[in-house]
Amino acid sequence: MTIPTTMKAAVMTEPRRIVIEERPVPELGDDEALVKVMAVGVCGSDVHYYEHGRIGDAVVRQPIVLGHECAGEVVALGRSASRLRIGDRVAIEPQTVCGRCPACKSGKYNLCPDVVFFATPPVDGAFAQYVKMREDFLFPIPDRLSYEEASLIEPFSVGIHAAQRTGLKPGSSVAIMGMGPVGLMAVVAAKAFGASRIYATDLEPIRLEAAVRLGATHAINIREQEPVQAIMQLNGGIGVDAAWETAGHPQALQSALLSLRRGGKLAVVGLPAQAEIPLNVHAITDREVDIYGVFRYANTYPSAIEFLAGGIADVKPLITDRYPLGDTQAALERALTNKSGSLKVMVYPNA
């Protein structure tokens, strides 16, 4: 396979401005692989950086390539890379870590203080024709899994991590607040972990309909129903075992807390614009609620690939919009402005 010396990349030079640049193809370190990027999903964080130029303390101070939900084909290997072969189709876990700190050694490498994560300033992401990645963060996918489905492994991993953090078990009940792409893949994760009752809340009908197709047992439109009352009524008045807030909305977080049974578990997945949000402390203490922060994921890709390849849910209909690399700005605008009509926007760097 002939590998070019230069490639195209979609570069954000300032908020709401993407330009296509010619850049050198990345040079490999000994333990790295070069991946020809075949599909990249537009994530909510990409949209937030595109619109505002920052997420909390992570500020875009120089031109950056966004995109981190990605999959592709291995086209070159570093000298000591031995686990993969050229031609392997892979899902890319878009982070590398030191492997030496206490967090890494305990298996919680998502908490590594030296983590390098795609599309988190100043690290470039995957809206480019090629990326390099340490080979231990590349995972072969079976032929029956498309590149688009493999790119959804990344948001799916967030849901799997939430399920693990909150100890979701077969027969559990769970409320998931917010049916963006992460929330929708969290529905799949809840189903994969055996939840018998999955309550999905949102205000967009297209997202609630998708949630039901993916495995939600109940869809609650918060424009029409008060979510806590609806969940309590549907769940016998005792609340749910676990609630996951994926929207990053203060009111959704409060609703998630109040939807729990006594002794229930709350996972905070979404990142709100503000760092501090008032919560009902009496409800937390009186019900002895466990609260879990969910920061990305760790050790989830192998099981995520098995779940999706095994047919746990048909996620292909989630991909509603498709764009070539040259139209990356249009893809981000679509994700930003069409929340009532789009689910997952996909970019194809080598189309």
Condensed to tens digits (0 to 9), the pLDDT of residues 88-116 reads 999 999 999 999 999 999 999 999 999 99
d(CA 121, CA 214): 33
Locate 182 and state its tokens: 């992460």
Phi/psi of residue 141, each to 5°? -120, 145
Q: What is the pLDDT of residue 199?
A: 98
pLDDT for 153: 98
Tokens 């078990």 sit on residue: 169
Fold of the 159-293 domain: Rossmann fold (3.40.50)
Quote the CATH superfamily of domain 6-152+315-348: Medium-chain alcohol dehydrogenases, catalytic domain (3.90.180.10)
SS3 347: strand
Question: Rounded to 5 degrees, what are φ and ψ at 151?
Answer: -65, -25
Flag residues of the chain having pLDDT under 70. Answer: none
Q: Tell me the whole-structure pTM to 2 decimals.
A: 0.96
Question: Could you tell me if 2 and 307 are in contact, meaning their C-beta atoms sit under 8 angstroms apart?
Answer: no
Angle in degrees, CA 241, 177, 302, rounded to 5: 75
Beta-strand pair 58-59/173-177: unpaired
- Would you list the DSSP string of 308-343? HHTTSS--GGGEEEEEEGGGHHHHHHHHHH-TTT-S
Place of tokens 């390098």: 116
Boundaries of every domain in the chain: 6-152+315-348, 159-293
User: What's the N-to-C CA distance of the chain in angstroms?
Assistant: 17
- What one-character DSSP code corresponds to residue 27? P
Q: Provide the pLDDT for residue 337.
A: 97
pLDDT of residue 268: 97
pLDDT at 183: 98
Give the residue among 104, 130, 128, 102 at the shortest CA–CA distance from 116. 104
Q: Could you give the CA distance from residue 351 to residue 348 in angstroms, rounded to a whole number?
A: 5
Q: Which residue reads 């296509």 in tokens?
A: 20
Strand pairing class (116-117; 95-96):
antiparallel
How far apart are the C-alpha atoms of 4 and 7, rounded to whole Å?
7
